[in-house]
């Protein structure tokens, strides 16, 4: 008998460079003691074995050691749903068992797991055919049972996300809408109606008037359409790709049956625009969700016991195994309204439902814990796991990190570690989704609060939007405030650090000469005309980037202050550029690489070499100490041993 255990990872140069996505390594490891004990069991007489398919379906069979494998197949055919005429293979400990030999002859021990592999592939040529007129095509009439969620029939669209880590992902059985938006080029444009009539009932078409705003961060070109995947959690553009004539879909059922069918459509899913926020660790929303999920689990267990004619109850240790993160005090506080903790006849503690308590209906339970809540919680769990894998175990939010970074020593390794932590905390799913929802909930009026470009770009090469908030302006220090109070209103010019009104006639003349203004022209001007000309020339040359005397430009150039409307316009133009690049990239079939494979590999090798040279044993310990200090918010003592503070 063997079991799979994790082997210590050994990285090559390329793996070290791709540290965000290491490959897992597995190897079979024999458990010596159980293997020896199992070998002592008799291989004759009645025994029990477990037959499993590759799809996960298992069945316990009571057999005799003298039975042949052919007899064993006959017993398994009824439970694993295959015909005896179908060629199947049975494997034990990595070797195929022969049909004409007995179980004992092939040294099969009791309680062993045998794997059944079905080799016949069943073609499904009519899989695309939709159900008849009497059957529903969509919920609530369709997909009433879990077994109905199969790709063996109906239309199958394969969706591949362009993001390595999408903010939100749906679970099995959750619905999504295939929607196509068409932007009219003129009020009388009828192309959208033609699209609506020619989509064969697959998805819906939404026609946008010329004045309507785009549902995406970028605008759809007039006379063009854009398909998207819409759920209650997010909206994401999709781009259809051609299905190769040699590609088919292999379907394997839970009982191991293999079927093959055509693929209707392949789409690439662009960057998600979330509608809901991912739960934030430690927030009240997480506690509320866990409490509701606990109650829903309890109520369903009570209802199942009532259907069996038993008194509704659940063992306390079983409840704790389902919710190990909850303390006993929390359980007592939350469950006191619906159940009492009692000791059973066998000594186990039971949560017994109160006699006058009414179990909520299934509809009420589904409102307590919605599928979207589950996905938001699971996305948070995935984000926490990623932080833990990167070594960030105490910090979950970037707030307050800047003050902690200011306490670090001014060394490259310390600043690099702090910058890495800050970057990872900024791109957590709860931070990105919260930023996007809060900045776009008022018809995208606050979109300028997002960086749009930068560390939050999931593509890493300008093809996606960054949902990281822009850094707020630094607060004005007290000294600056006092200085402004003393100087008074209107004493200096906006964007300058000097008062032009204090210039004398001679000083203004010298400055204008530096700007190559003819002396004859200067002599004809009054003092205020000279000051106005100095301001104009300084501002023009500062804006154009022409190198002149720094005393002229830096002291007297008037800076251009961007208005709120200009900032919004600049942000929208930036969004449109990124949107166009994303559409162009995901629409292309194979796409041209921006850089050759050899250049990419050389960059990875050089980066990996730098990491290996930099992060030796001593530096790794220093990085760990830096991370611990950031989480505690105190200054690092570089000379002190690990775990000690400076006195």
Using CB atoms within 10 Å of the CB of residue 335, give its burial: 0 to 12 exposed, 13 to 18 middle, 19+ buried: buried
**Residue 622: per-residue pLDDT:** 61
Q: Is the pTM of this model over 0.75?
A: no
Segment 57-94, tens digit of pLDDT: 788 888 888 899 999 888 888 888 888 888 889 999 88
Q: Give the start-to-end residue ranges of the domains of the chain.
A: 2-121, 150-274, 288-372, 390-426+601-647, 495-556
**Predicted pLDDT of residue 433:** 95
Question: Is the predicted pLDDT of residue 35 greater than 80, yes or no?
Answer: no
Segment 213-230, tens digit of pLDDT: 999 999 999 999 999 999
Q: What pLDDT shows up at residue 582?
A: 95
pLDDT tens for 108-144 read 888 888 988 888 888 888 777 776 667 777 777 778 8
Across the beta sheet with 249-252, what order do the strands follow? 121-123, 258-261, 249-252
Helix (H, G, I), strand (E, B) or coil at 134: coil
8 A C-beta contact, residue 339 and residue 315: no
**Cα–Cα distance for residue pair 428/344, rounded to 1 Å:** 46
105, with CB counted inside 10 A (0-12, 13-18, 19+), is middle
Which position has the token pair 């439970």?
79
User: What is the Cα–Cα distance from 76 to 70, expressed in whole angstroms?
Assistant: 10
- In DSSP terms, 208 is beta-bridged to 183
The CATH T-level fold of domain 288-372 is Arc Repressor Mutant, subunit A (1.10.10)
**Distance of alpha carbon 317 from alpha carbon 386, whole angstroms:** 30
Where does residue 94 fall: left (phi above 0), alpha (psi -120 to 50 degrees), or beta otherwise?
left
**417 prior amide bond cis, ω within 30:** no
Q: How many CB atoms lie within 10 A of CB 281?
A: 15
State residue 644's pLDDT score. 37
Range name among 204-208, 347-351, 615-619 with the lowest pLDDT average: 615-619
For residue 542, the model assigns a pLDDT of: 64
Is 486's pLDDT higher than 60?
Answer: no
Q: State how far the Cα of 535 lies from the Cα of 512, in Å rounded to an integer.
A: 10
Question: Is 592 a residue whose pLDDT tops 50?
Answer: no
Backbone angles phi, psi at 327, to 5 degrees: -80, 165
pLDDT tens-digit series, residues 345-355 = 777 889 999 98
**What integer pLDDT is reported at residue 606 of this predicted model?**
54
Please state, in angstroms and rounded to a whole number, the distance separating the CA atoms of residues 220 and 226. 7
pLDDT score of 469 more than 60: yes
Q: What is the pLDDT of residues 255-301, one digit of tens each?
A: 778 889 999 899 999 999 999 999 999 899 999 999 999 999 999 99
Phi, psi of 302 (to 5 degrees): -65, -45
CB-based contact 52:27 (threshold 8 Å):
no
* Record: fold of 2-121: Ubiquitin-like (UB roll) (3.10.20)
Q: 163 near 433, Cβ under 8 Å?
A: no
pLDDT at position 41? 56
Position 303 confidence tier, pLDDT thresholds 50, 70, 90? very high
């Amino acid at each position: 008998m063997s079991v799979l255990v994790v082997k210590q990872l050994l990285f090559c140069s390329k793996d070290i460079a791709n540290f965000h996505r290491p490959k897992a390594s597995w190897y079979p490891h024999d458990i010596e003691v159980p293997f020896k004990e199992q070998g002592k069991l008799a291989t004759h007489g009645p025994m029990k074995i477990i037959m499993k398919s590759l799809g996960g379906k298992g069945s316990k069979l009571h057999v005799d050691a003298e039975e042949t494998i052919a007899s064993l197949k006959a017993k398994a055919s009824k439970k694993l749903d295959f015909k005896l005429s179908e060629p199947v293979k049975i494997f034990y400990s990595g070797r195929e068992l022969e049909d004409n030999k007995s179980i004992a002859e092939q040294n099969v021990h009791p309680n062993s797991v045998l794997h059944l592999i079905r080799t016949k592939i069943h073609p499904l040529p009519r899989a695309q055919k939709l159900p008849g007129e009497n059957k529903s095509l969509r919920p609530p009439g369709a997909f009433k049972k879990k077994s109905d969620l199969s790709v063996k029939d109906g239309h199958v669209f394969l969706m591949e996300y362009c993001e390595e880590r999408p903010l939100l992902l749906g679970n099995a059985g959750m619905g999504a809408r295939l929607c196509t938006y068409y932007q009219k080029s003129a009020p009388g444009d009828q192309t959208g109606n033609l699209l609506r009539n020619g989509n064969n009932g697959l998805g819906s078409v939404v026609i946008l008037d010329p004045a309507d705003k785009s549902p995406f961060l970028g605008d759809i070109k007039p006379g063009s359409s854009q398909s998207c995947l819409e759920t209650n959690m997010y909206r994401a553009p999709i781009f259809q790709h051609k299905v190769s004539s040699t590609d088919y879909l292999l379907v394997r059922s839970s009982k191991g049956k293999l079927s093959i069918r055509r693929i209707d459509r392949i789409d690439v899913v662009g960057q998600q625009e979330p509608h809901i926020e991912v739960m934030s660790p430690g927030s009240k929303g997480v506690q509320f969700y866990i409490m509701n999920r606990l109650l829903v689990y309890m109520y369903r267990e009570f209802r199942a016991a009532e259907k069996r004619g038993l008194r509704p109850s659940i063992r306390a240790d079983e409840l704790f195994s389902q919710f190990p993160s909850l303390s006993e005090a929390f359980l007592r506080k939350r469950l006191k309204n619906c159940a009492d903790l009692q000791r059973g006849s066998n000594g186990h503690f039971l949560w017994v439902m109160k006699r006058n308590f009414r179990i909520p209906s299934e509809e009420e339970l589904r409102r307590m814990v919605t599928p979207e809540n589950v996905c938001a919680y699971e996305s948070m769990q995935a984000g926490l796991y990623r932080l833990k894998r990167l070594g960030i175990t105490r910090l979950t939010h970037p707030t307050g990190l800047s003050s902690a970074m200011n306490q670090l020593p001014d060394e490259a390794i310390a600043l690099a570690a702090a910058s890495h932590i800050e970057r990872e905390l900024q791109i957590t799913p709860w931070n990105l989704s919260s930023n996007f929802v809060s900045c776009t909930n008022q018809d995208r009026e606050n979109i300028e609060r997002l960086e749009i470009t930068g560390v939050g770009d999931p593509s890493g090469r300008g093809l996606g939007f960054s949902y990281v908030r822009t850094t707020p302006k630094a607060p004005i220090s007290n000294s600056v405030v006092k200085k402004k109070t003393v100087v008074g209103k209107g004493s200096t010019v906006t964007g300058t650090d000097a008062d032009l009104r204090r210039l004398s006639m001679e000083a203004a003349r010298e400055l204008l000469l530096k700007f190559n203004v003819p002396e004859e022209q200067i002599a004809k001007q009054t003092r205020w005309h000279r000051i106005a000309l100095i301001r104009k020339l300084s501002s023009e040359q500062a804006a154009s980037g022409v190198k002149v005397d720094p005393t002229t430009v830096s002291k007297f150039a008037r800076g251009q202050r961007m208005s709120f409307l200009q900032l919004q316009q600049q942000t929208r133009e930036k969004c449109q550029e990124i949107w166009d690049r994303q559409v162009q990239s995901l629409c292309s079939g194979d796409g041209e690489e921006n850089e050759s494979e050899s250049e990419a590999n050389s960059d990875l090798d050089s980066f990996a070499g730098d990491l290996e040279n930099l992060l030796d044993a001593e530096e790794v310990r220093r990085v760990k100490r830096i991370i611990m200090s950031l989480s505690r918010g105190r200054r690092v003592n570089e000379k002190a041993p690990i775990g000690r503070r400076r006195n």
